[in-house]
Amino acid sequence: MNIVISGGGTGGHIYPALALIKEIKRHEPDSRILYIGTEKGLEAQIIPKEGIAFESVYITGFKRSLSFDNVKTVARFLKATRRAKRIIHDFKPDVVVGTGGYVCGPVVYAASALGIPTLVHEQNVIPGLTNKFLSRYTSRVAVTFSGSATYFPQGKTVVTGNPRATEVALADKDAGLASLNVPEGKRYVLIVGGSRGARAINEAVVDMAASFSDYPDYHFIYVTGEVHYEKTLEALQRNGKLPTNMTVRPFIYNMPEVLAGIDLIVNRAGASFLAEITALGLPSILIPSPYVTNNHQEKNARWLEAKGAARVIIESELSGSAMLAEIDEVLKDGKRIETMRSAAKALGQPDAATLVYNELKAIARA
């Protein structure tokens, strides 16, 4: 098959796309893939590094409040749709896939206008504006959570899970830890602030890092986000020498392998991330971002917490001492961590990528 995939803005839209591409290549090694994103999105950095052909369109998202900027966005949408049509016409795909983010709007819409089968994938419990708009035109809607199906047209909506879960479930945990050069025989805690990092989480880690030496059995792996790395590293060093049981990285590109080897993760509550940790049965402490549409991260986090798979700290209540206390509370209680691990595993969907691939095959034009 020839396949165009579009998704961007955050890792939550990009990594499911990458997982799906790997699944397609596993079934059809000779398939041709073209990724369409934006020049300024995270996808422009990640996709070319994976050796995947990349094209870009210029588009911005709609504001939910009345704004003159929305008039400009309509003009950009029309211009991006025209460019997407040219790209798609030249590539001649059998199917076009959107995994979220406003870049999918003109790409999937252009494909639909050209009569090419399309599929959009929704990762969150509460769908975004772009996917709700595209659901009127697309051939198929694949959702991660069954509760999302009510927001989309019946008859074209299927529950598949998130393709990222499949990639993580197959990861090599020994390779992940080895790539970080961490000491063996520890309890590994991974702290991340989402794909771009989060200032509030960085500040909490800086605040508590001096206490890490009091927990010699734990090794803390801390991912700052590339834009925050230099400033955060300087702050850590101002507070004293980095603890020997701490590894600091700006970004981790082999995250599935690293996730497979750790004991506990602290992170935001994006849907793709939840798919990863449930596929692995990984206990988590979730700090949902308060800056996302419809507060969907807290809804995601509370869903996991209600199932017994996670603990939740609201950002307004976040501090270094609060985070460290939660980490120690989970790790020191063997029964609790096993209960959380079992609860997370019960929610996992490790065959999600295969299910989405099967939907692509079903709708692809002959």
Distance CA 304, CA 322 (A): 20
pLDDT of residue 361: 95
pLDDT of residue 300: 86
3-state helix, strand, coil in the chain (%, to 5): 50, 15, 35
List the strands of the sheet with 140-143, edge to edge: 53-56, 32-37, 2-6, 95-98, 118-122, 140-143, 157-159
Q: Which band of pLDDT confidence, cut at 50, 70 and 90, is reported for residue 62? A: low
pTM: 0.76
- The domains located in the chain, with CATH, are 2-162+351-363 (3.40.50.2000), 169-346 (3.40.50.2000)
In degrees, rounded to 5, the angle at the alpha carbon of residue 117 between the alpha carbons of residues 116 and 121 is: 130
Mean per-residue pLDDT for 187-204? 88
pLDDT value at 320 more than 80: yes
Tell which phi-psi region holds residue 294, choosing left (phi > 0), alpha (psi between -120 and 50) or beta: left
Q: Which band of pLDDT confidence, cut at 50, 70 and 90, is reported for residue 114? A: very high
- Which of 35, 38, 36 has the alpha carbon at shortest distance from 52? 35
Two structure tokens written together for 134: 């595209």
pLDDT value at 138 more than 90: yes
pLDDT of residue 195: 65
Count of helices and strands (H, E) across the chain: 15, 13
Mean per-residue pLDDT for 260-289? 92
Q: Which residues are annotated as a binding site for UDP-N-acetyl-alpha-D-glucosamine?
A: 10-12, 124, 195, 252, 297
Give, as one character, the DSSP assignment of residue 226. G
Q: Which range, 142-151, 154-163, 290-299, has the best average confidence (pLDDT)?
A: 154-163
- Residue of 92 and 294 predicted with greater confidence: 92
E-strand stretches of the chain: 2-6, 32-37, 53-56, 95-98, 118-122, 140-143, 157-159, 187-192, 218-223, 246-249, 264-267, 284-286, 310-312
**Contacts of 290 by beta carbon, 8 Å cutoff, 6+ apart:** 297, 298, 314, 315, 316
Mean per-residue pLDDT for 26-38? 97
- Residue of 240 and 337 predicted with greater confidence: 337
Backbone angles phi, psi at 101, to 5 degrees: 95, 155
Mean per-residue pLDDT for 237-264? 91
- Looking at 62-66, 245-249, 278-282, 332-336, which range is the least confident one? 62-66
- Tally of residues, the chain: 366
Q: Are 84 and 106 in contact (CB under 8 A)?
A: yes
- Looking at 91-100, 104-113, 217-226, 229-238, which range is the least confident one? 229-238
Distance CA 330, CA 266 (A): 11
pLDDT value at 22 more than 80: yes
Q: Which band of pLDDT confidence, cut at 50, 70 and 90, is reported for residue 70? A: low
Two structure tokens written together for 85: 């049509």
What is the SS3 assignment for 138? coil
- Which of 36, 100, 71 has the alpha carbon at shortest distance from 292? 100
Averaged pLDDT of the chain: 91
pLDDT value at 271 more than 90: no
pLDDT of residue 366: 54
- Looking at 15-19, 193-197, 295-299, which range is the least confident one? 193-197
Distance CA 54, CA 213 (A): 45
pLDDT of residue 262: 95
pLDDT value at 155 more than 90: yes
Q: Which residues are annotated as a binding site?
A: 10-12, 124, 195, 252, 297
pLDDT of residue 264: 97
Distance CA 258, CA 66 (A): 43
Give the number of C-alpha atoms closer than 13 A to the C-alpha of residue 149, restricted to the C-beta side.
13
pLDDT value at 61 more than 90: no
Q: Which band of pLDDT confidence, cut at 50, 70 and 90, is reported for residue 163? A: very high
Q: Which residues pair with 264 in a beta bridge?
A: 189
Percent of the chain with pLDDT over 90: 70
Q: CA end-to-end span of the chain, whole Å? A: 10
CA torsion through residues 326, 331, 332, 338, sign:
positive
pLDDT value at 171 more than 90: no
